[in-house]
Structure 1
């Protein structure tokens, strides 16, 4: 789409306005708030930065952005370990996206997603946290690098696209399970709007290809090729070239001969009767 090409050119020409190494600042903010919360048993600092719809409407507008550096950490050492793994994972994703997009496009993607989530959280009377923007960040990475493999639980190699399907499925399931909280349960879908805006050409292309696959008049060339190869292997024949596998059934005009220099009976087509390696 032309507007997306224009946007990419704009980001490339105005790279200086982006926040370089954005994910370093996001990760550092999470670590600082996490450490401060450990010496703050009443949770004053996280409460001061977290998203709160009523306080935003009262004028505390910084909460529209600062909630992305308020970590959600489980209890104990294991919770801290998972928190560290999560930060490293999203830092790596962010660095790859920055190298692919440039700092300005990543900056726009991240903070536009944050603001969209905040606005819909206000409208839907829901609670916002960094998990929504992290999900869109992950989906963006999986869209650009679907076949990249990661070690799931440090043991199982799995393509990133399957993890993205799983994460997206969990969010959609949460919408269904929490239907009694409507409209607040719709916030995950609203948060995905940022991803949809940036990847609309990819989504439309995917839907278009799916529609073509459903048409009876469209040939699936890969499937047709596999079927033809299967029929070719199963066809009855009298002569078969031991080099290329061609048979007199599939190629009736091709000449087949047996090599007198090979030990035993070995058949070759006219293309390989003089060039094959003799069997002794």
Structure 2
């Protein structure tokens, strides 16, 4: 993504390494607070109406609400997502990792405000780092789809299938809300919450795909090329012919042919003459 490259060149020196580690530490602190003072969770969790009435700390304190109240499950969560974040940070770099995390958190916050103002729905405990954690897993699956996880510490499952299962679970949760409360307003509120909270993965996925291949002009060009190749095959003419020796792919099917970028025109050469021929430049010959 060109925009992200520009940001990295300008602000990359301000990147915070291991940002996900600090978020996990905050979440662990929230777990300890919740265990010692269960009622404290009420003052830490997200509440749009409370924020609008002055309790602005909730914009940040929702990060402290523990992913799970089970210490054992929390240790598994912390180890898994710290490992995932470290893997992605080694591939992306600290700045891009920070941007991914911050975009995910901002998406969650924007979604919570949006559903409150549009539908009047208070998301409460739905606003948590669970979406951020799942977006990290989806990013890992998109980057390394064939990496394996041990489901229940026994069954090896590739990341791409685990990611698909995660998407299915999102759809299941959405349908549970719809079946219980209906689409309006709770179903749409939940849908907006899911989409906006995963905006970091959506932007990452679109930014790393080769979208040029679905460009209508590119699709039309490929179809014309395939049509011409099909017509040439039916006519019995060779697809490739060496400019120097005249050998073709029909006579020598194992021979490789390439175009020369230094020649002035579409001149093709076999592998034997690609680097030894005289370059054709504007009606003159220039020795290589």
Q: Which ranges of structure 1 fall in alignment gaps of 5 or more residues? A: 220-280
In structure 2, relative to structure 1, the CA distance for the partners of 1:11 and 1:216 (3 Å cut) is closer
Q: TM-score, normalised by structure 1?
A: 0.66
Q: Which SS does the other structure have where 1:151 is aligned?
A: strand
- CA change 1:204–1:50 in 2 (3 A) is farther
Give the match for residue 139 of structure 1.
138
- Out of 191, 196, 209, the position equivalent to 1:190 is 196
SS of the residue corresponding to residue 150 of structure 1 reads: strand
- Report the counterpart of residue 268 of structure 1 in structure 2: none
1:21 aligns with: 18
Q: Does residue 60 of structure 2 align to residue 59 of structure 1?
A: no
How far apart are the structure 2 equivalents of 1:165 and 1:154? 19
Judged with a 3 Å threshold, the aligned counterparts in structure 2 of structure 1 residues 120 and 199 are, in CA distance, closer, same or farther, namely same
> Across the two proteins, how many residue pairs are aligned to each other?
207
The corresponding residue for 1:69 is 64
The SS at the match of 2:56 is coil
* Structure-2 change in CA distance of 1:206 and 1:38 (3 Å): farther
Gaps of at least 5 residues in structure 2 are 116-120, 227-288
Distance 2:9 2:87 in 1: 16
Question: Does the 8 Å CA contact 2:27/2:64 hold for their aligned counterparts?
Answer: yes
Would the alpha carbon gap of residues 6 and 73 (structure 1) be closer, same or farther in structure 2, given more than 3 Å must change?
Answer: closer
Task: Give yes or no for contact 1:172–1:188 (8 Å, CA) kept in 2.
Answer: no
Per the TM alignment, residue 207 of structure 1 is displaced from its structure 2 partner at its CA by: 8.8
Give the C-alpha shift of residue 24 in structure 1: 1.7
CA–CA distance in structure 2, aligned partners of residues 36 and 202 of structure 1: 40
Question: Match of 1:98?
Answer: 89
Structure 2-normalised TM-score?
A: 0.64
RMSD (CA atoms): 2.7
Deviation at 1:196, TM superposition (A): 1.0
